Structure 1
Amino acid sequence: MLYSMTGYGSDKFTIFNTGYEIIITSLNSKNIDINIRTPQSLKSLEIDIRNLLANKLIRGKVDLYINYDMQKGSPTPTLNEDVLYGYLNQINNFSFKYQINEMENPLATLIKLPGVFEIDKNKLTDAEVEIINKSIENAINQVIEYRKQEGEKTQKDISDKINIIKINTEKIIALKEERDKKIREDLINLTKQLPDNIEIDHNRLEQEILYYLDRLDINEELQRLTAHLSYFEKELQDNINLSKGKKLAFISQEILREVNTLGNKSNYLAIQQIIVNIKDDIEKIKEQLSNVL
């Protein structure tokens, strides 16, 4: 079974008499790349959230956002008078020291400074942490289900392409005898074009033809290609290892290596045309695997 790295999940929870919404998105990435944005009141949970995402989602570029649920109302900011007084006192001292006219109404500027207004300064209880974690897990499970559905579509498409490659491989095997015969005939015809005064050692000629055919023999490449295709299918159907995109990508690279060698050695138009189609399917598979967990 394949899982895509593309996913989406969301959930909502309420603490401090305030509603929050969780949104998780996931895209493809070589490794796990996590970005978390939460309100200040939940910053203390970010390390645990990061570990949970890494353990559950394994790979991908994962973004988690926790925002206020505006339908349930955002929290009311609280004015921190001590901080505001501190800012105001420093400005007054600075103005007096350097003989600068004081601002007529500095509050409009001061209230924008960090710490003047506070939101959700409450300390999280164990029960509230449990509510948050459960909500995050609900969103993660939605991402996993989304990945599963996308992965099922990808797996079917890749499986269909592998079957086409296997059929084309059988076509190459069926053409091999005809191809070997054609190469032999071409070599013999070349010798017939030599001048009549050149004496040909037919035993030596036969040895050279056999040597040339041996160098162009594609049996080993066909055997390895068939083995790689079987191995790919076995891994594709495996339901134990959920993260196998990298392994399948490696096997597909080995398949492409054998196909390239076949193309270089085939020296036969009908086989080369089939190989072009096989390579096209392999490239499509590799592109799909780049988004597989």
Structure 2
Amino acid sequence: KKILRGKINLNLVYEGTVSTGGRVMIDRGCAKSYYNELRALGKSLGLKDDVTLKDVMLLPGVASYEPAAEHLSEIWPKIKVALDKALAMLVVNRNKEGKAIYLDLKKRSQKISKLLAVVKSRAHLNIGEYKKKFTDRVKDMTGGRQIDMGRLEMEVAIYAKNSDISEEITRLENHLDHFNQTISGSGEVGKKIDFIAQELHREVNTIGSKASDFKIAKSVIDMKGEIEKIREQAKNLE
């Protein structure tokens, strides 16, 4: 109920006074192994002191105490109080960390929006740059010979269409809106944010593959860096 994502491993060790009804357990195999090894060690070192029962009993794992079941039921309320207190502190710390992560994610979203604005403002230049490079390349290949400009314009238009990034920009804007709504919401958002980040990366990657404008290409690199940091932060959220 307190932790929606991830898991907690709890190792509880009971140490208390001996109570009526409990029992002492001796691991004879462990004790014998200790005894034999200690005797062998003493012999190899030339020591004459013999190993006593007390020596063996004090070694870890030889003796243990199991309290009576009714005694465990008596101490459980105290254990529960301690667990509830620990969980409450955990929730407080997670909420504090969550607020810090929210501010970080919001800052990265704003940075991506600014970078996207640069891409959007230069999208038409990307097509123009593509047309110019394609036309110059064709002229170089023909060696100055007469070219059917009508056919060339048609081919350029076809290839320029493939370099159009307006659809990717629109989808990227929609994903950013969804991202901002998600981080401002409640409930389990970690996996949702990771999924949205994947979608953001997909659109940015496509823009990068189509970009021929230097500033667009640089913005793409910077956006990828921000998205990767978002995915890392998503792992710390429920």
CA contact (8 A) 2:24 2:66 kept: no
**2:68 aligns to what SS in structure 1?**
coil
- Gaps of at least 5 residues in structure 2 are 33-49
What's the counterpart of residue 123 of structure 1?
70
CA contact (8 A) 1:78 1:117 kept: no
Distance across 2 between alignment mates of 1:106 and 1:224 = 77
Q: 1:137 aligns with which of 72, 75, 84?
A: 84
Query: Given the superposition, is the C-alpha separation of residues 114 and 190 from structure 1 closer, same or farther in structure 2, using an over 3 Å criterion?
Result: closer
Distance across 1 between alignment mates of 2:127 and 2:151 = 19
Distance across 2 between alignment mates of 1:209 and 1:126 = 82
CA contact (8 A) 1:162 1:229 kept: yes
Distance across 1 between alignment mates of 2:157 and 2:202 = 26
Q: Percent identity?
A: 25
Q: Deviations over 1:193-215 (max 9, x none)?
A: 3334x332222111101101011
CA contact (8 A) 2:23 2:65 kept: no
TM-score (norm 2): 0.77
Instruction: Point out the structure with the larger helix share.
Output: 2
CA contact (8 A) 2:119 2:216 kept: yes
**1:118 aligns to what SS in structure 2?**
strand
Distance across 1 between alignment mates of 2:115 and 2:25 = 75
Q: How does 1:1-293 map to 2 (within 5 A)?
A: 55-67=1-13, 75-77=16-18, 106=53, 108-109=55-56, 118=65, 120-121=67-68, 123-124=70-71, 128-193=75-140, 194-196=142-144, 198-239=145-186, 241=187, 243-293=188-238
**1:64 aligns to what SS in structure 2?**
coil
Instruction: Point out the structure with the larger strand share.
Output: 1
CA contact (8 A) 1:235 1:248 kept: yes
**2:67 aligns to what SS in structure 1?**
coil
Distance across 1 between alignment mates of 2:61 and 2:68 = 14
What's the counterpart of residue 7 of structure 1?
none
Letter paired with 1:60: G
**2:147 aligns to what SS in structure 1?**
coil
CA contact (8 A) 2:112 2:223 kept: yes
CA contact (8 A) 2:201 2:224 kept: yes
CA contact (8 A) 2:24 2:65 kept: no
Letter paired with 2:85: N
Distance across 1 between alignment mates of 2:236 and 2:60 = 44
TM-score (norm 1): 0.64
What's the counterpart of residue 15 of structure 1?
none
Distance across 2 between alignment mates of 1:202 and 1:289 = 53
- Aligned CA RMSD, in angstroms, stands at 3.2
Aligned length: 216
Q: State the 1:130 CA deviation.
A: 3.7
Letter paired with 2:56: T
Query: Given the superposition, is the C-alpha separation of residues 213 and 77 from structure 1 closer, same or farther in structure 2, using an over 3 Å criterion?
Result: same
Letter paired with 1:158: L
